Structure 1
Amino acid sequence: MSRRQVQNVLRLMAAGGPVELSSPLASVKRLARLAFVAQQFGYEYVDVRQAGSRNGALVMLLLPDPGPVARARAAQNRAQYPNAADGVSLPPSVPDALELLKARINFDLTGRHSERQRLAYAALAVTVGSLVVGVNLGGDSAFTIAGIMWASCMVLLAGGLAVGRRRNTKYAARLEAAGFTPFTDDTGRLRYLPPGTPMPGHPYANGPYGAMPGGGTYAPQQPPAHPRQDPQGQPPQG
């Protein structure tokens, strides 16, 4: 996380609206560090998605947190670190908080619902590809070869799914131990809310999660309140 990245995040937050940050290197660690800085000055990590048009880049959404705890923390840090805009004079990192942010981001990227979706798409692609190979090869052994290829790929997919489930179980256990609350949004996606956050749709859910459309599903703003920026400070190319 560079000085320029932090300066860019704080500059966007100063406008008071939604902030989208893109990491072209798909770095969860980098986004977690930027989200931690945002939390120190009145913003909250809300969601992350993979930008398919940007070669695997991750796009993170931050929203202002109007909760009293967040406001008090931001006021204290602004008073204690008046030169934070230089990108260097910042509150010290808290390792446990960073680990929780990394767990949240990783879980949001590879939750159970999206895992099943990806497995279904991959299985369909493998099946179609195997059929194409069998047809193109021709001959008596063509479909035998295609069948072996299909079976091998399915075994690899199943192994990948098992690894992903173990990883997500680890993230979920860490979040639940820290008091985060699981909930399922309108699309069937499992998410985790920070301690004390009302469920989306609750009459008093006036924080960043209560304001999210679709019960917490991250959809790009149309149009975005602010142009999306790379942490490096450059607007993303289309």
Structure 2
Amino acid sequence: MSKRQIRKMLRLMATGEPVQVTSAMASVKKLAKLAFIAQQFGYEYADVRTGGGHDNSLTMLIVPDPSPHARARAAQNWAQYPNAGDGVSLPPFVPDALELLKARINFDLTGKGVEKRMLVGAVAVTAASTAVAVQGGSGALIWGAIMWVFFMSIFAFGFFFNRRRNAKFAARLQAAGFTPVADGSGRVRYVPPGAQPPGYGNPFAQPSYAAPQQPYTPSYPQPHPPQHNPYGQPPTH
């Protein structure tokens, strides 16, 4: 996490619009720290996604939090840390808050969707192994069986390891008062106490976060410009 990235994030937050932050090295710890900083100045973590394919980066979505508590905290922090825009003069990190953010990000990355993809992969491996085995001859049958056992062992290990890991994240979030809810696509998310359940499967897929008739994210009300803009100019839309 660089000072430059923090400065850029805070500059984008001054517009009052949803902001996407990318970690090229796929670091959940780095994104959790950035989300923590965003929370101190009127924003809230909304979702995360992987780069896809051979791109192992992670992109996090943060959105304005118009709740009275968040606005009061942001006003207090801007007053206490007026030079936060330099990326250095920031509120200290709170370990428990960071752990909760890491749990939310990890669960969103490796929740039930990953388990479904593993099951699809297992079906594909079974089909491929069968195709190899029926090519004829005892050698093809042996190779098909070896391939099936090898890949199924990997999938089985990954499936149960992922499920155990997610159970740990879920327990941490539930103990902190977060609520598990399913969105319109069936994806399970943990929302903070008092937040509205998500209604869309992918906040990143919204064509225009600024469109007034389309909420940019299902979990939070329509954003309002932040009360304080450290860069001196009123935000424009």
| TM-score in terms of structure 1 length | 0.82
Code of the residue aligned with 1:9 in structure 2: it is M
Given candidates 149, 162, 165, the residue that maps to 1:164 is: 162
Find the aligned partners of 1:157 and 1:33 in 2 and give their Cα distance. Answer: 32
Summarize the alignment of residues 117-128 of structure 1 with structure 2, pairs less than 5 Å apart: 117-128=116-127
Code of the residue aligned with 2:38 in structure 1: it is A
In the other structure, the counterpart of 1:28 is 28
In the other structure, the counterpart of 1:173 is 171
In the other structure, the counterpart of 1:115 is 114
Deviates more, 1:13-22 or 1:142-151: 142-151
Find the aligned partners of 2:50 and 2:205 in 1 and give their Cα distance. Answer: 11
Q: CA deviation at 1:85?
A: 0.3
Code of the residue aligned with 1:143 in structure 2: it is L
1:172-211 deviation digits (Å, cap 9, x = unpaired): 00000111111111111111011122334xxxxxxxxxxx
Given candidates 186, 191, 198, the residue that maps to 1:193 is: 191
Question: Among the aligned pairs, what percent are the same residue?
Answer: 59
Given candidates 222, 228, 235, the residue that maps to 2:207 is: 222
In the other structure, the counterpart of 1:51 is 51
Asked if 1:81 is matched to 2:51, the reply is no
Find the aligned partners of 2:54 and 2:66 in 1 and give their Cα distance. Answer: 32
Code of the residue aligned with 1:198 in structure 2: it is Q
In the other structure, the counterpart of 1:93 is 93
Find the aligned partners of 1:56 and 1:177 in 2 and give their Cα distance. Answer: 31
Aligned length: 210
Q: CA deviation at 1:54?
A: 6.2
**Contact kept in structure 2, 1:17 and 1:64, CA below 8 Å:** yes
**Contact kept in structure 1, 2:183 and 2:197, CA below 8 Å:** no
Q: CA deviation at 1:116?
A: 2.6
Q: CA deviation at 1:108?
A: 0.4
RMSD: 1.9
Find the aligned partners of 1:23 and 1:42 in 2 and give their Cα distance. Answer: 21
Find the aligned partners of 1:74 and 1:150 in 2 and give their Cα distance. Answer: 55
In the other structure, the counterpart of 1:9 is 9
Code of the residue aligned with 2:160 in structure 1: it is A
| TM-score in terms of structure 2 length | 0.82
Q: CA deviation at 1:221?
A: 3.8
**Contact kept in structure 2, 1:48 and 1:218, CA below 8 Å:** no
Q: CA deviation at 1:224?
A: 6.5
SS at the partner of 2:61? strand
Find the aligned partners of 1:156 and 1:52 in 2 and give their Cα distance. Answer: 20
Find the aligned partners of 2:18 and 2:53 in 1 and give their Cα distance. Answer: 21
Find the aligned partners of 1:168 and 1:3 in 2 and give their Cα distance. Answer: 32
Which runs of structure 1 show a deviation greater than 6 angstroms over 4 or more consecutive aligned residues? none
Q: CA deviation at 1:147?
A: 1.6
Q: What 5-or-longer segments of structure 2 have no aligned partner?
A: 211-237
**Contact kept in structure 2, 1:111 and 1:190, CA below 8 Å:** yes
In the other structure, the counterpart of 1:236 is none
Find the aligned partners of 1:122 and 1:54 in 2 and give their Cα distance. Answer: 17
Q: What 5-or-longer segments of structure 1 have no aligned partner?
A: 201-212, 226-238
**Contact kept in structure 2, 1:18 and 1:62, CA below 8 Å:** yes
Find the aligned partners of 1:150 and 1:54 in 2 and give their Cα distance. Answer: 24
Q: RCO (CA 8 Å, sep 6+): is it higher in 1 or 2?
A: 1
In the other structure, the counterpart of 1:144 is 142
SS at the partner of 1:140? helix
